[in-house]
Amino acid sequence: MSRQKLHNQTPLLIRNALDLTHNFKPQSKSNPLCLPQKSPAKLSTNLIKAYFNNGLIKQARQLFDEMPDRDVVAWTAMISGYTACERYNSAWVMFKDMMREGFDCPNAFTFSSVLKACKGMKSGSCGGSCHGLALKCGFVGGSIYVDNALLDMYATCCVSMEYACLVFGQIPVKNQVSWTTLITGFTHRDDGLAALEVFRQMYLEEAEQNPYSFSIAIRACAGVGSHTYGKQIHVLVIKLGFDLNVPVMNSILDMYSKCNCFHEAHTCFNEINEKDDISWNTFIAGYAKTDPMKSLHLFLQMESQGCAANCFTFSSIIAACTNLSALTCGQQVHCRIFKTGLEQNLPLANSLIDMYAKSGSVQDSRRVFGEMWFRDRVSWTSMMTAFGSHGYGPEAVELMTQMVNSGINPDMIVFIAVLTACSHAGLVDQGLSFFKLMTSKYKINPSQETYACVIDLLGRDGRIKEAYDMIRSMPFDPDESVWAAFLGACKAHGQPVTAAARQVLDLKPKRSGIYVTLANMYAAEGKWDDRAKMRDVVNSLGEKKVAGRSWLEVHDQVYSFVAGDGGGLHIEPVYWVLGALGRHMVQQIDVTREGT
DNA sequence: TGCTCGACCA
């Protein structure tokens, strides 16, 4: 290979090394490059590591295969290299091959590397066998690295934290990593309180504090929604001088956003001197639900300050557009996604389908879906839901067939999507056959929500008796969502408040909507005393009824208003168009009737 | 100078 060709194909790190050696003038024939005397195995291991650091996995493997004298260090470099590149299975196979060759014993480095691979594979059984071997070799309790890696593996792979806690308890001298790993284990399985208890213990035992344990402890505060704990830890962060650490500040920012403390979040954001993309993404995501407009403004600000948006940014921005139901704004964001080359990012494409459907353009949803190179179950479900919510029942049903033909089996969510679509389009028998298919062919046990869909399906068609029989035949006690669907059906078809109402009341539902429905039904029958009782319950629940809000987008401006309120818009033309639409619908109904 | 463990946003 010519030197130039070699130069072009070799990563920077190795190129620099080669350039360095090239410029050396040999001083003696036995050590021509003036390099320290080193065995070929050591040089090869160095090179393997360099290859992995530069993502050249194949080259690393080739070099390893060509090594005549592979020792435990070379094997370990391969295992940790594969793990660093997220090729966990390859790392595991390496470890097994190493054990099979059997001439060299794994050391502490090997065990901590292979345990990390087990963690990556989420395989507690592989990790367990490593644990056994490590015990046999005397590394458990003998190397803090192995102990910590074991702890992390059990915390990540097991259903409970039991084994992780056992390992933690047996570590002779715990270090910062041990504590942080345990806190992380609890936090990542949504047990923030346990995580905070460990954090407190760490503090009481005067373990040396470090930014890692703080960022995860603050995430635990966000998880339990406690800005009180969060603030206390924030104070400690300032006291210890960790407020210059960006990940710590990012987690504080996230904590305040998730606890709806936007004033504090704002202050925190301004105090981060070297904001990274995570700082921006956290802040943008924090506002996506509560103030989507603010979210969009922050996005523009982020770009103007030279921070590039990535898939996480767009994920939040799409959520903001969805919450605004602002179609043109969503389309512009979609354009930006194209320009960034992220249009085939699966989660993004899936949320675009949802965004377009909720912004009123099922055509755009369909186009995004059609242009996807890969589709997962979420893609299909999103498209079915999009069709269903726009009344395209047959299209949703057709999609179900296509999905199955493409090799994806439906799950409960898919069935709920297709049942809802059938319900909205009046495809009752079609829907019922899907319900049968779900249990008979796919062996999925229907949930309360699934039954609620089917009751809704029957109810909308006026098949009240069948709906009631189905409720009676359910294998568990129906919850309020099922009864709500049934009551809705009774109300829609002018059925009297039957025994069903008493059954509903026995459940003591917490959703005020059910009592409102019942109150209205009693009113329709002239049972004013019962109606008054229902209204009392609604008031006692103290749930403030949120007014139904509408959005209108005119010239890039979104106007939001409730009934009787103009929302800052000249309301007269709106009423005029509404009136015209109403007259048009009446005409259409008349035409249809004349035709039949 | 041959190989090892822990954090923040979606």
Q: Helix or strand or coil: residue A517?
A: helix
Q: Which residue has the closest alpha carbon to B1 C1'?
A: A46
What's the pLDDT at A587? 75
State residue A153's pLDDT score.
98
- Residue A500's CATH number: 1.25.40.10
pLDDT at A584: 77
Regarding whether A535 and A481 lie in a shared domain, the answer is: yes
In a domain, A523, yes or no: yes
The protein footprint on chain B, as nucleotides within 7 A of a CB, is 1-10
Ramachandran quadrant class, A562 (left: phi over 0; alpha: psi -120 to 50; beta: rest):
beta
Give the nucleotide with minimal C1' distance to the Cα of A74.
B3
* Closest nt to residue A279, judged CA to C1': B9
Residues A477 and A532 grouped into a single domain: yes
Question: Distance (Å) from CA A86 to C1' B1?
Answer: 25
Q: What pLDDT shows up at residue A75?
A: 96
Domain of residue A11: give its range.
1-37
Residue A400 lies in a domain: yes
A93 in a structural domain:
no
**Residue A237 located in a structural domain:** no
Give residue A550's pLDDT: 64
pLDDT of residue A32: 47
Q: Give me the pLDDT at residue A506, please.
A: 73
In whole angstroms, what separates CA A91 from the centre of its chain? 27
Q: What share of chain A is helix, strand, coil (3-state, %, to 5)?
A: 70, 0, 25
Same domain, yes or no, for A519 and A468? Answer: yes
The C1' atom of B4 and the CA atom of A28 lie apart, in whole Å, by 37
Q: How far is the CA of A144 from the C1' of B5 (A)?
A: 8
- Residue ranges for chain A with pLDDT beneath 70: 1-38, 103-104, 497-500, 503, 507, 543-554, 556-558, 560-561, 563-570, 588-596
A4-CA/B3-C1' distance, Å: 32
What angle, 0 to 180 degrees and rounded to 10, lies between the N-to-C axes of helices A512-524 and A499-506? 160
Convert the pLDDT of each residue in A283-311 to its tens digit: 999 999 999 999 999 999 999 999 999 99
- Domain boundary (A414, A440, A466) is at A440
Same domain, A520 and A458: yes
C1' nearest to CA of A223: which nucleotide?
Answer: B8
Nucleotide at minimal C1' distance from the A254 CA: B9
Three-state DSSP at A189 gives coil
pLDDT of residue A34: 47
Q: Which nucleotide has the least CA–C1' distance to A35?
A: B1
Helices A448-460 and A480-492 cross at an angle (nearest 10°) of 10
Q: Is residue A204 part of a domain?
A: no
Give residue A176's pLDDT: 96
Note whether A431 and A473 are same-domain residues. Answer: no
Angstrom distance, A39 CA to B4 C1': 22
Residue A151, CA: closest nucleotide via C1'? B5
Closest nucleotide to A147 by C1' from CA: B5
d(CA A17, CA A8) in angstroms, rounded, equals: 14
The whole-number Å distance from A223's CA to B8's C1' is 13
Spatial distance from the CA of A116 to the C1' of B1 (Å): 24
Compute the distance between CA of residue A422 and CA of residue A458 in angstroms, rounded to an integer. 10
Total domain count, chain A: 4
The reply to whether A381 falls in a domain is: yes
**Residue A229 resides in a domain:** no
Domain-embedded: residue A457:
yes
**Are A541 and A450 contained in the same domain?**
yes
A60 CA to centre of own chain: 34
Q: In terms of domains, do A429 and A457 share one? A: no
Residues A504 and A450 in one domain: yes
Convert the pLDDT of each residue in A389-433 to its tens digit.
999 999 999 999 999 999 999 999 999 999 999 999 999 999 999
Q: Which residue is nearest to nucleotide B6 (CA to C1')?
A: A177
Taking the C1' atom of B10, which residue's CA lies nearest? A312
Task: Check whether residue A455 and residue A538 sit in a common domain.
Answer: yes
Q: Is A553 helix (H, G, I), strand (E, B) or coil?
A: strand
User: Alpha-carbon distance A322 to A332, whole Å?
Assistant: 13
Residue of least CA–C1' distance to B4: A109
CA A532 to C1' B2, whole Å: 82
Task: Please report, rounded to whole angstroms, the spatial distance between the CA atom of protein residue A215 and the C1' atom of nucleotide B1.
Answer: 33
Task: Give yes or no: residues A450 and A540 share one domain.
Answer: yes
Task: Reduce the DSSP state of residue A558 to 3 states and report it.
Answer: strand
Shared-domain flag, residues A464 and A450: yes
Same domain, A453 and A540: yes
Report the distance from CA of residue A211 to the C1' of nucleotide B2 in Å, as an integer. 31
